Amino acid sequence: MTEAKIIYVVTEGKWSDYHIEGVFSSKELAEAFIDVQEAERHRQIEVWPLDGPTDALREYLWPISVCMTRDGTPTRIWKYTDFGYGYRASYERGPIILKGTMEIIVLARDETHAVKIANEKRTQLIALNQWESPK
């Protein structure tokens, strides 16, 4: 397998105003682009792998967000259908524990598979005493 090529994407805005301003082959070019633009605008440089999640696509894996209580009850499961938006080399994030509920994003075949992965992480956190107590 060849090493993934990286591109540097200059973005601006949030939510519905989020947009790409430019795509560059080096961080230096992206920084130079920002330097010559209007100073008061907030731009950021995102690092993306070129050709994105090809391994995940080949395996039919999707990013799925799972919220789960300490006892293993899923409270929300959400499958990302816009696979490319904000995608990085590894979409998996978390877990984040807030008010006794864990949220984690995993790459899985379906919602059932995602809950299984999240539950394995939940049991690891509890076993390692890393589950934050509900506040």
Contact 114, 77 (CB under 8 A): yes
Nearest to 64 by CA among 74, 55, 54: 74
> Given this model, what pLDDT does residue 5 score?
83
- DSSP 8-class letter at 15: G
> Given this model, what pLDDT does residue 69 score?
95
- The residue extents of the domains of the chain are 6-51, 55-127
Global pTM reads 0.55
> Given this model, what pLDDT does residue 57 score?
58
> Given this model, what pLDDT does residue 27 score?
93
The owner of tokens 């499961």 is 77
Nearest to 46 by CA among 91, 105, 88: 88
The owner of tokens 């959400």 is 78
- DSSP 8-class letter at 12: E
Q: Which residues of the chain have a pLDDT value below 50? A: 1, 85-89, 134-135
At residue 67, φ and ψ (nearest 5 deg) are -105, 135
> Given this model, what pLDDT does residue 91 score?
62
